[in-house]
Amino acid sequence: MGKNRKYAVSPKRDENYPEWYQQVIKVSDLAEHSSVRGCMVIKPWGYALWENISRELDDMFKETGVKNAYFPVFIPLSFLEKEAEHIEGFAKECAVVTHHRLEQGDDNKLIPAGKLQEPLIVRPTSETIIGESFSKWISSYRDLPVLINQWANVVRWEMRTRLFLRTSEFLWQEGHTAHSSDIEAIERTNMMLDVYEKMAEQYLAIPVIKGRKTQTERFPGALDTLCIEAMMQDRKALQAGTSHFLGQNFAKASQIKYQSSEEQEEYAWTTSWGVSTRLIGGLIMTHSDDDGLILPPRVASSQVVLMPIIKKEKDKEMVLNYTQKLANEIQDIYYYNRKIRVEIDNRSAASKNWDWIKKGIPIRVEIGPRDIEKNSVFVGTRDKEPNEKTSYLKNEFVSILPELLDNIHNNLFNKALNFRKEHTKLIDNKKEFYNFFTPKHSNEIHGGFALSYWCESQECEAKIKEDLKVTIRAIPLDAKNERGKCIYCNEPSMIRVIFAKAY
Amino acid sequence: MGKNRKYAVSPKRDENYPEWYQQVIKVSDLAEHSSVRGCMVIKPWGYALWENISRELDDMFKETGVKNAYFPVFIPLSFLEKEAEHIEGFAKECAVVTHHRLEQGDDNKLIPAGKLQEPLIVRPTSETIIGESFSKWISSYRDLPVLINQWANVVRWEMRTRLFLRTSEFLWQEGHTAHSSDIEAIERTNMMLDVYEKMAEQYLAIPVIKGRKTQTERFPGALDTLCIEAMMQDRKALQAGTSHFLGQNFAKASQIKYQSSEEQEEYAWTTSWGVSTRLIGGLIMTHSDDDGLILPPRVASSQVVLMPIIKKEKDKEMVLNYTQKLANEIQDIYYYNRKIRVEIDNRSAASKNWDWIKKGIPIRVEIGPRDIEKNSVFVGTRDKEPNEKTSYLKNEFVSILPELLDNIHNNLFNKALNFRKEHTKLIDNKKEFYNFFTPKHSNEIHGGFALSYWCESQECEAKIKEDLKVTIRAIPLDAKNERGKCIYCNEPSMIRVIFAKAY
């Protein structure tokens, strides 16, 4: 297949990246816009991905002692008013419930009735409502730590939406913990960031940088916001998960107090941390290509598809039986502690090979009468070109399947890591910095991540944002103590930070 | 322990059943009311129960070819107006979103702003919004059947709420399927009822009667509503799950059309089916006693608790090590396809044995220095009296653990089944029927389930409801074709139905 071959997705990435993104979601059948403004429908192929991601995360949370619980979807307005900074940052765009009944109007239309004394908002995040519960559950140091997670839908009214990346409703998990010391709470904040890093790198095959947000970019009300940041194929940054050390701010707002072992009344130290269906957006933009979605094997909706190729009716039964037997064999194999997920596509559609390429399944297996004769299978993997297929003896294929999946994972991860390295640059010169973020032609993209010195003033941060739409994505946790000069104002600086355009 | 022993829950069941129910939830730490009207907080011990129930159900759904997806939490008012009967039955009490922003008012209070052009309601059920998607997904008979399930929160505004049984917000699953023939849709309706029966009887140890609702009690817009009904310890009925054959009603409302193999345009036949966190209410009211919760083993939040008994500091390390080793051994054992869930309670609290009795854990194991010397463990099971404990050799205990759990399951199921049989009566005499449902003393309860003839008129059904607050819970699926006279009007009848008071 030459360089000029046709691709399954139009436009291609380098033609129109945002539109390519929408098309990948469409051809892979992950999700679609609903008729409800800003809300998406997650279709089975997309939801299976979320189920796999959340199952792995859930196990990791539980290993650290976290338990799941569930709190109300509604938050009374008065709760939001408790934490001043929080409300400043959050409460602006949200769904407000004002009535609890519908009545038939004059023209037979339904109209809202039964006005609520106090309006409710649909949770944009649950610190305040969970804080209310914590204040009841906690009275002594013996009750601490409390380690809770919730899997839930949340709503943040968005004017401009993009599937998975920014929707009015999305699915997420939010962890909330309370501790008797700041040290323990900070440890938990870091521990959960490590869990997110593990999810991103070892499951989603997305290399991430662990860092700390600047004050400007922090979660409203937090003392510290840690994050993992990834580079997408358009070289923009995507924040893939955050873990917040909330100090005693929310404990004070919600009156989460406990009697210490010295019989003093103290406010608890709290944390919160979350990832969402946005991870799916990140996964798409990290790996997919001009032929559609590429699913990282360890969370893939399905990992292997078996495609019987039947040209003569007389072969049909034999080929279908062989395929079913192979499927049974495969689904008893474990990969990464889970049974391998296998599909059979019995359709006679000419498009079926390409349908699965577009859907991003890691491994495609063709099984025809001649393969069966030779006891072999014909295998394509999604990290390679569509026509690059290998013939394996069936038994060999079955035995190396976990290895094949691992190879795909590693290829995807290394490709993304190299891409990020290639487009990350140490820049110490202001002009170079401005050039880096200013495409020279209309169809060119900017440079990527700039590692540059910053004097820690909000003013310089704001100016750069104003000039270039570039923000500080993270102060890397592994940043060395260096000395340089702020890329904007030239004043002395101690830290290099990551500047980038971002989702 | 004599008959006059103290019990952990006050009041007892026979003193005040509704209050006993609340107290069981409280002492077992399952859930609590939140400060948001009608909404509950599901605490970790309660949520784990829901996780186990939903995991088992999810596997059963998937075995029948169902896939999960996710649809918007909001439904535009106009969607509800499409299906006349549906709106009549449903749209009355719900949470109505009218604004999408908050603004700071004069007194610094937050006020709703950004009025929506069309109000949205928070989904009470998703037939209409999922129907919208189905209409887009389905165009040919080749696209059918579509078999979708959603795990979600739903909201139905309730004035009087009871934890798990009736709350404004609850968690559930709702299955929605579309088919090319009525026969196939009806088969699916029955198939999912069988899944619910299996969940109730084989997992929750709740015996249920499968039946069909009368027209009065049907889901609004359905042609047929199948249900499973259980008897609680106050002899009232609880509807534990429903499966609806919707005919073409919703397909017509949502324009779910397909081209048949004869190239005719046809409306699809649809079904929907759901169970909710209400199952937990049913589980509590079926099994629990005056000492608190009793958890059926196959879905129990946790199945075994190990309680080291340490009286001397010198024994501590040895006993804790022994306990941890035993826990490791136990959690590698499978019961009902899942690894056994085991807890260690290292607290020195005197109350710990009773804490676990109240929480309803199936098996409690005491481990002291003398047990360890004899290599034995001291075991209590929740289906027996609290002081009835048995000493087992440790290895024996480990090997019979699955059997012990099975015994508890069977004991709970049989006890509930006998209770239902004892309080179910064939009644063919109107006076006897009225007596059956009219307690003679204020602290007596009514009789239970009456199996009586009914002439199939809505009028008789309504009169009985008016007189006795008794409704037809189900026309049993296994009802024989009999001939009798309506218990109310004495007109000829072909069917015996189940009359009962209900939750």
Residue A342 has which token pair? 């296998």
Residue B408 has which token pair? 């508890």
Which of A88, A110, A345 should one mutate to test binding to chain B, selecting the residue with the greatest count of B CBs within 10 A? A110
Question: Closest-CA residue in chain A for B38?
Answer: A72
> Percentage of chain A with pLDDT > 70?
97
C-alpha–C-alpha distance, residues A221 and A65, integer Å: 25
**Per-residue confidence (pLDDT) for residue A92, from 0 to 100:** 78
Residue B82 confidence (pLDDT) above 90: no
Q: Quick check: A122 and B120 CB within 8 A?
A: no
pLDDT band (50, 70, 90) for residue B160? confident
Angle at B459 between CA B453 and CA B460, to 5 degrees: 30
Q: Quick check: B110 and A43 CB within 8 A?
A: no
CATH architecture label of A304-413: 3-Layer(aba) Sandwich (3.40)
Q: B298 vs chain A: nearest CA distance in angstroms?
A: 19
**Per-residue confidence (pLDDT) for residue B109, from 0 to 100:** 82
Indicate the CATH number for domain A17-75+128-287: 3.30.930.10
**Per-residue confidence (pLDDT) for residue A440, from 0 to 100:** 84
Best CA proximity match to B217, nearest among B423, B427, B448, B500 = B500
Q: Quick check: A110 and B69 CB within 8 A?
A: no
CB pairs under 8 A between A and B: 181
Average pLDDT value for residue range B130-144: 97
* Lowest mean per-residue pLDDT among A158-162, A236-240, A243-247, B260-264: A158-162
pLDDT band (50, 70, 90) for residue B97? very high
Residue A455 confidence (pLDDT) above 90: yes
Q: Quick check: B77 and A171 CB within 8 A?
A: no
- Residue A320, chain B, CB below 8 Å: the answer is no
Indicate the CATH number for domain B424-500: 3.30.110.30
Task: Give tens-digit pLDDT for A54-71.
Answer: 999 999 999 999 999 999
Nearest to B70 among A47, A94, A157 (CB): A47
Mean pLDDT estimate for chain A = 95
**Per-residue confidence (pLDDT) for residue A152, from 0 to 100:** 98
Report the SS3 class of residue A467.
Answer: helix
CATH classification for the domain delimited by B17-287, as one of 3.40.1390.30, 3.30.930.10, 2.30.250.10, 3.40.50.300:
3.30.930.10
Angle at A350 between CA A349 and CA A352, to 5 degrees: 70
- Residue A35, chain B, CB below 8 Å: the answer is yes
Q: Quick check: A94 and B75 CB within 8 A?
A: no
Residue B83 confidence (pLDDT) above 80: no
**Per-residue confidence (pLDDT) for residue B3, from 0 to 100:** 61
Nearest to B110 among A80, A95, A169 (CB): A80
C-alpha–C-alpha distance, residues A435 and A467, integer Å: 12
**Per-residue confidence (pLDDT) for residue A87, from 0 to 100:** 66
C-alpha–C-alpha distance, residues B8 and B103, integer Å: 50
According to DSSP, the β-strands at A146-155 and A169-179 are: antiparallel
Task: Give tens-digit pLDDT for A348-362.
Answer: 888 999 999 999 999
Q: Quick check: A41 and B97 CB within 8 A?
A: no
According to DSSP, the β-strands at B304-308 and B342-344 are: parallel
Average pLDDT value for residue range B281-293: 98
Task: Give tens-digit pLDDT for A462-496.
Answer: 999 999 999 999 999 998 878 999 999 999 999 99
**Per-residue confidence (pLDDT) for residue B442, from 0 to 100:** 73
Average pLDDT value for residue range B301-326: 96
Q: Quick check: A47 and B69 CB within 8 A?
A: yes
**Per-residue confidence (pLDDT) for residue B90, from 0 to 100:** 61
Say whether the ipTM exceeds 0.85.
Answer: yes
Instruction: Give A-chain residues touching B43 at CB under 8 angstroms.
Output: 69
**Per-residue confidence (pLDDT) for residue A381, from 0 to 100:** 98
C-alpha–C-alpha distance, residues A367 and A376, integer Å: 8
Task: Give tens-digit pLDDT for B331-360.
Answer: 999 999 999 999 999 998 889 999 999 999
Q: Quick check: B43 and A152 CB within 8 A?
A: no
Q: Quick check: B94 and A101 CB within 8 A?
A: yes
- Residue B44, chain A, CB below 8 Å: the answer is yes
Query: Could you tell me if A380 and A364 are in contact, meaning their C-beta atoms sit under 8 angstroms apart?
Result: yes
Average pLDDT value for residue range A386-394: 96
Query: Could you tell me if B175 and B273 are in contact, meaning their C-beta atoms sit under 8 angstroms apart?
Result: yes
Best CA proximity match to B136, nearest among A269, A29, A319 = A29
* Lowest mean per-residue pLDDT among A332-336, B240-244, B480-484: B480-484
**Per-residue confidence (pLDDT) for residue A91, from 0 to 100:** 59
Q: Quick check: A153 and B152 CB within 8 A?
A: yes
User: How would you label B39-67 residue by residue, b for 16+ Cβ within 10 Å and e otherwise?
Assistant: bbbbbbbbbbbbbbbbebbbebbeeeebb
Residues 107 through 136 of chain B touching chain A, CB cutoff 8 Å:
108-110, 112, 114, 119-122, 129, 132-133, 136
Q: B101 vs chain A: nearest CA distance in angstroms?
A: 5
- Residue A470, chain B, CB below 8 Å: the answer is no
Q: Quick check: A36 and B67 CB within 8 A?
A: no
- Residue A44, chain B, CB below 8 Å: the answer is yes
Instruction: Give A-chain residues touching B161 at CB under 8 angstroms.
Output: none
Nearest to A74 among B36, B93, B96 (CB): B36
Residue A459 has which token pair? 């003013």
C-alpha–C-alpha distance, residues B293 and B300, integer Å: 11
**Per-residue confidence (pLDDT) for residue B89, from 0 to 100:** 65
pLDDT band (50, 70, 90) for residue A441? confident
In this prediction the pTM is 0.96
Q: How far apart are the first and last CA of chain B?
A: 35
Average pLDDT value for residue range B420-427: 98
pLDDT band (50, 70, 90) for residue B1? very low
Domain boundaries, chain A: 17-75+128-287, 304-413, 424-500
- Residue B171, chain A, CB below 8 Å: the answer is yes
Instruction: Give A-chain residues touching B169 at CB under 8 angstroms.
Output: 72-74
Nearest to A93 among B68, B94, B101 (CB): B101
**Per-residue confidence (pLDDT) for residue A1, from 0 to 100:** 47
Question: Closest-CA residue in chain A for B41?
Answer: A71
Instruction: Give B-chain residues touching A50 at CB under 8 angstroms.
Output: 70
Average pLDDT value for residue range A398-404: 98
**Per-residue confidence (pLDDT) for residue A2, from 0 to 100:** 53
Instruction: Give A-chain residues touching B159 at CB under 8 angstroms.
Output: none
Q: Quick check: B100 and A101 CB within 8 A?
A: no
pLDDT band (50, 70, 90) for residue B159? confident
Q: B98 vs chain A: nearest CA distance in angstroms?
A: 6
- Residue B71, chain A, CB below 8 Å: the answer is yes
Nearest to B119 among A100, A112, A122 (CB): A112
- Residue A462, chain B, CB below 8 Å: the answer is no
> Percentage of chain A with pLDDT > 90?
89
Q: A490 vs chain B: nearest CA distance in angstroms?
A: 40
Phi, psi values for residue B252, rounded to 5°: -70, -40
Task: Give tens-digit pLDDT for A150-207.
Answer: 999 999 998 889 999 999 999 999 999 999 999 999 999 999 999 999 999 999 999 9
Average pLDDT value for residue range B184-207: 98
Residue A320 has which token pair? 């279908």
Q: Quick check: B47 and A35 CB within 8 A?
A: no
SS3 labels along A186-237: HHHHHHHHHHHHHHHHHHCCCCCEEEECCHHHCCCCCCEEEEEEEECCCCCE
- Residue B65, chain A, CB below 8 Å: the answer is no
Query: Could you tell me if A275 and A241 are in contact, meaning their C-beta atoms sit under 8 angstroms apart?
Result: yes
**Per-residue confidence (pLDDT) for residue A110, from 0 to 100:** 87
Best CA proximity match to A50, nearest among A282, A261, A264 = A282
Q: B201 vs chain A: nearest CA distance in angstroms?
A: 26
- Residue A216, chain B, CB below 8 Å: the answer is no
Instruction: Give B-chain residues touching A76 at CB under 8 angstroms.
Output: 35-36
Q: How far apart are the first and last CA of chain A?
A: 35
Nearest to A97 among B40, B48, B96 (CB): B96
Task: Give tens-digit pLDDT for A310-365.
Answer: 989 999 999 999 999 999 999 999 999 999 999 999 998 889 999 999 999 999 99
**Which residues, other chains included, contact A352 with Cβ-Cβ below 8 Å and sequence gap of 6+?**
A307, A345
**Per-residue confidence (pLDDT) for residue A24, from 0 to 100:** 98
Query: Could you tell me if B61 and B175 are in contact, meaning their C-beta atoms sit under 8 angstroms apart?
Result: yes
Best CA proximity match to B416, nearest among B424, B425, B427 = B424
Instruction: Give A-chain residues touching B34 at CB under 8 angstroms.
Output: 71-72, 129, 132-133
**Per-residue confidence (pLDDT) for residue B91, from 0 to 100:** 59
**Per-residue confidence (pLDDT) for residue A444, from 0 to 100:** 77
Residue A258 confidence (pLDDT) above 60: yes
Question: Closest-CA residue in chain B for A100?
Answer: B95
Q: Quick check: A119 and B96 CB within 8 A?
A: no
Which of B34, B153, B155, B346 should one mutate to test binding to chain A, selecting the residue with the greatest count of A CBs within 10 A? B34
